[in-house]
Structure 1
Amino acid sequence: MATAEASLLPPEEGRPPQRVAPGLWLFAPSRESQGGSAWLLEAAGTDLLIDCPAFTRANLRFLAGRPRHRAGGSAESQTWILLTGRGGHGRCRRLQQALGWPVLVQEQEAYLLPGVDPLHTFASEHRLAPDVRLLWTPGPSPGACVVHVAPVGGVGQDGLFCGRLLVPVAPARLAPLRQRGTFHWGRQLRSLERLRQWLPSGSPDWIASGAGLGALRGPKLVEKGASLLRNLNLEALALQPPGGPMTPKPLS
């Protein structure tokens, strides 16, 4: 870890993340992010911690033991904490202090992270690595974003980490939900339309949500991500009241 100070070590042991696919791990739901889900991905040239898991000893041991671990905030860092929205911040400052990994967040939500150093921001789009791109998708929160990992040279992952832009509503089903904490429902739907235009044709193969995954009742990744996004009926969703239907009618 970046420091040996006992004050930075969490009191709770917790349990380590589970491997759900080659190069991809899912952390246990975290009370610190309202039961949300954090992921660790091995991309082509870097390790990406996508949202913050619970601040536990088991999680710190796992992350500090990554072979690509390199403390510091240079552009060549091989480890990053990427935040997809305020719901996934958890105890980011304590985690970052213990690990020394740089944090990347959309600029609208940087003010929520006082004391986090190094802290990097982006505006509309950002390419972190040849196979990793980020897109600002406001709606669930002002600085919500998604992370797309694409195969390099046709080899590797093709997935989308959608944060809370889409949440599990049934087995193998994700949808946007208009909830009491939603920042702006209209912007969230416009973000989904922009996302569909931004992604390459036929992409992604799978989607990983940053929300609680209990409704999936099985596999943690939702396959056929491109089809799921294409079939969202955004016009019908625009009429959804807060706390409305959990399974909106798809396009025919």
Structure 2
Amino acid sequence: MSWLQAQPTAAGRPPRQVQEGLWLFAPNRDTQGGSSWWLEPSAADRSGVLIDCPAFNDANLAFLQQQPAGRIVLTGREGHGRLRRFQEALGWPVHVQEQEAYLLPGAQQLIGFAEQTELEPGLRLLWTPGPSPGTAVLLAEQPGILFCGRLLSPLAPGQAGPLRTRRSFHWGRWLRSLDRLRAWLPPGQPHWLASGAGLGALRGEALVPSARALLDQLDLDALATQQPV
């Protein structure tokens, strides 16, 4: 048993199902109250996906250990959390944009990517720098969900947008990433946004609907003058 595995864990509470095949974990203090998601596999011969790390506690670990197979996708440095502890317990590979792989010394089975990659048909990653150098988004074409990490944050019920903070890497690249994202997405996709930020502004909701229309309506010229919050 490693030193990490020997550390005690809190009881915690398990994730809640928000849609068929989709689960939301409780906010994680280790990632500044960020949100993590579990996407069930689309077929029996495929793996489920843990998007960003939830709190490392007994309830979350028990839920994930019940899954037949899985992989971890990190959408940016804010979602790393206690990645090494999860990986030691689960043995799953980790997909991370190559510019942030160095932040995970000692982690095993790191799979880096550059511009974009496809994990399996209909499940694609795109590099979207801005919030951090290695920010990425994950599109699940079925059921039409964009896991956008901190690229888009909830602003109000049914609303989300880029939220510049003093920790943001590069605002200009962030806006260019949003423009590139719109061109990269298939027509009509996505139907929903699943943010990796805190979801309090959604007032109890988990997902942001009408996601494609929301993305298309972003005024990037106006956003260019936004000041850090």
- Structure 1: how far apart are the matches of 2:61 and 2:14? 9
Scaled by the length of structure 1, the TM-score of the pair is 0.87
- Structure 2: how far apart are the matches of 1:122 and 1:7? 29
Q: Secondary structure at the match of 2:17?
A: strand
- Structure 2: how far apart are the matches of 1:166 and 1:50? 15
Deviations 1:114-152 (A, max 9, x none): 11101110000000011200000000000000000113x
Scaled by the length of structure 2, the TM-score of the pair is 0.95
Equivalent AA in structure 1 for residue 134 of structure 2: G
Q: Secondary structure at the match of 2:167?
A: coil
**1:201 Cα deviation after fit:** 1.1
**1:241 Cα deviation after fit:** 1.2
Moved >3 Å (runs of 4+): 3-10
Distance 1:219 1:8, change over 3 A: same
Deviations 1:56-111 (A, max 9, x none): 01100000011x22xxxxxxxxx110000000000101111111111110000000
Distance 1:97 1:8, change over 3 A: farther
**1:184 Cα deviation after fit:** 0.4
- Structure 2: how far apart are the matches of 1:148 and 1:231? 19
For structure 2, the residue ranges without an aligned partner over 5 or more in a row are none
Q: Compute the RMSD of aligned alpha carbons.
A: 1.4
Distance 1:238 1:5, change over 3 A: closer
For structure 1, the residue ranges without an aligned partner over 5 or more in a row are 70-78, 152-156, 244-252
Identity among equivalent positions (%) equals 59
Residue 198 of structure 2: aligned partner: 212
How many residue pairs get aligned? The number is 226
Equivalent AA in structure 2 for residue 138 of structure 1: P
**1:50 Cα deviation after fit:** 0.1
Please give the residue correspondences for 1:1-252 in structure 2 after superposition, counting only pairs within 5 Å. 7-8=5-6, 10-44=8-42, 45-66=46-67, 68-69=68-69, 79-151=70-142, 157-243=143-229
- Structure 2: how far apart are the matches of 1:93 and 1:211? 21
Q: Secondary structure at the match of 1:148?
A: strand
